[in-house]
Amino acid sequence: IPMREPIISLLCIVFVLVTIAAFGHWEMQGETSVIARFTDNGDGTVTDDTTGLIWLKNANCFGQINWYEAITGVTGLAHGQCGLTDGSSQGDWRLPEKAELLTLLDERYEYPALSNAANTGPWTEGDPFSGVQTNPYWSATAYGNYSDAVWLVRFSQDYMLYYANNS
């Protein structure tokens, strides 16, 4: 069965690449090379180098708000607000989907479950985000077939949960 070996090799390569993308580390002969996780763009935004997503650097721009206030706040977000100097206009920003929020969680750390920009240690104030809150962050993803519940993430405890979006 000559085709089996290349398929197994391809699967191994895919697994290694997925592992590197998920955890940002490459180990070879006892040495570890760390791949930077975030880039501070210097304009109030942070790029996730793993996913390519661009996040607001000020993680507490709106404070503790309900889901409707989050939707309104983020759609009205623009250059000159929350430390943004990126030239963005109202409507350029949106709430992240559940899967996008999950990509930020780093299970190696807790309180909060985020890495620093270099991916070498836990998050500290300003590296790369500022004002990370212990309150949950809203997503735009509905919980199953329930139109009145959405997913949110609590970085302080490294988990996703759902909550009625009418609060």
| pLDDT, averaged across the chain | 78
Q: Whole-prediction pTM value?
A: 0.74
- How much is the pLDDT for 164? 54
Terminal C-alpha separation, the chain: 60
How do residues 65-95 score in pLDDT, each as one tens digit? Answer: 888 899 999 999 999 999 999 999 999 999 9
How do residues 137-156 score in pLDDT, each as one tens digit? Answer: 888 988 878 777 888 887 77
CA-closest candidate to residue 106, choices 86, 94, 120: 120
> Contact 149/106 with Cβ under 8 angstroms?
no
Q: Which two tokens stand for residue 8?
A: 């197994």
Give the separation between CA 161 and CA 139, rounded to whole angstroms: 10
